Amino acid sequence: MTRTTAHLASLTAFPSISADPNEDLIRWSAGIVTAAGGRIHVLAGAKPGKINMLASFGPQTGAGIVLSGHSDVVPVAGQDWHTDPFALTAKDGKLLGRGSSDMKGFLAACLSAAERADKTRLTRPLHLAFSYDEEVGCLGVRDLLERLQAENFQAEGCIIGEPTAQQVGFGHKGKIFGCFCCHGQPAHSANPALGCNAIGLAAEMVGAAETLQAELLATGARDAAYPFPVTSVHVGTIKGGSALNIVPERCDVEFEIRNVAADDPQALVAQLRARAAEIVARRGQGRIEVEIANEYPGLETSPEDPFAAKILATAGTGPCKIGFGTEGGLFQSRLGLPVVVCGPGSIDRAHKPDEYITQDELDQCDAFLDRVIASLSV
C-alpha cells in the first residue's frame, strides 16, 4: 500500500458528509502537515465543527502554487452500496469508498506529495487549501478566501483537484440556484374560484423556465467545448399542496441556471422575475417570488496563461472544459489567480453507490504532483 493509499483509507474513514462537521478530518490532516514540516496558516471556519485549512511548505514569501480540494462528501443514504462506504475497500482492481474520486483521492495525494517533497529545495511555497461544504454551494472556501484576500495573499496559480482523469480543465460554467416561491389563496376545492391555486402559478413558472431554455438553445451564446453548449435552465423539485380537496396556498419550485461565460446569470434571473410579474398581473391574484439561495462564478482561464500552459505541460494530457462546478471561479475572482482543474478519478463515478478510484490513478496523480512541486524548486 502506498502512502497516498494509506492516507486515502484514513480520510475515507471520516464520513464528513456536508451536513456534518469536518473538524476531525481537518485536524488529522493538520497533524500530517505539521509532522511533514509544514506550517498551518489558517485553521478556522465560520460554523461550529466546520474548518478550513491552509497549510504551507517552503519559504514564507514568493508566489507559490495552491493545491485546493474539499473535504466534504455527499450522503450515502438510500444508495445500494456493496461495501462499507466509509471503509476503503480494494475489490476487482478498484478502491471503493465514498469520496474516493470526489475528491479525497486528491487530498490524500496532496498530503503524501508534501511528505515526499524536499522542503529544503523549495524556492517558492507550496500551499494546501482544504475546505468544507463544497458539495452544497462552495460555502466553506468563501471564508478562507475572505481571509486570504484581506492578507493580500499572492500565488502563481491554483490547481483544483476535482476528478478529471488528470485532464487539465480550463473552464466550467457558473451556477445560480434558488426557488420560485408561489403564494396562492386556500379554498375548498368544491369552489376553486374562491381561492388562488399556487400549483397553477408554479406550473406557469416551470413553463417560463422551459421557454427561457428554448430561447437560449435557439439564439443564446454557445461554447462548443461543453457537452451542453449553451446556458442551462433546469427545474429540479416541486413541493406544494396539502390535500386533494384544498386549493393549495403555497408551492415551491427549485431551479438552477448554469451559465456559459458570455451569459449574465443575473440578467437571466431578471427575465424570470419579469415573467413571474406578468403571470401574476394576468391572473390578477397570487404572488410569485424568485429567491436566490446561492451562486458561484464560472471558471474561464486562457490556455495561453503562463501558469495554465505550465500545468498542461506538466500533466502531459489534454485541455478540456468540465461540466461540473468547482471553487475555481471563486479563487479566480477573489484572489485574481489563474486556476485550472486537474485531479485523479472520474466525475462519472461520483455521488453514486460503489464510488471508486484505482491505484493507477492515484499513482499518476502522485507523479503529477511531484512534477508540480519540483517546479517550485527552479
Residues with a known catalytic role: 72, 134
Kind and range of the H or E run holding 200: helix 198-219
Backbone angles phi, psi at 36, to 5 degrees: -90, 5
CB-CB neighbours of 317 under 10 Å: 15
State how far the Cα of 206 lies from the Cα of 290, in Å rounded to an integer.
Answer: 12
In the chain the first and final C-alpha atoms are separated, in Å, by: 31
CA torsion, ordered 324, 329, 330, 335, to nearest 10 deg: 150
Residues contacting residue 350 through CB under 8 Å, at least 6 positions apart: 74, 101, 102, 163
CB-CB neighbours of 79 under 10 Å: 14
Burial status of residue 299 (CB atoms within 10 A of its CB: 0-12, 13-18, 19 or more): buried
The answer to whether the CB of 66 falls within 8 A of the CB of 153 is: no
Grid cell of 22 as nine digits: 469536518
The answer to whether the CB of 350 falls within 8 A of the CB of 43 is: no
Write the DSSP symbol of residue 66: E
Grid cell of 179 as nine digits: 426557488
CB-CB neighbours of 157 under 10 Å: 21
Which segments within 71-184 are labelled E, that is strand? 89-91, 94-96, 126-131, 155-160, 168-172, 174-183
Kind and range of the H or E run holding 68: strand 64-70
CB-CB neighbours of 324 under 10 Å: 17
CA torsion, ordered 238, 239, 243, 248, to nearest 10 deg: -80
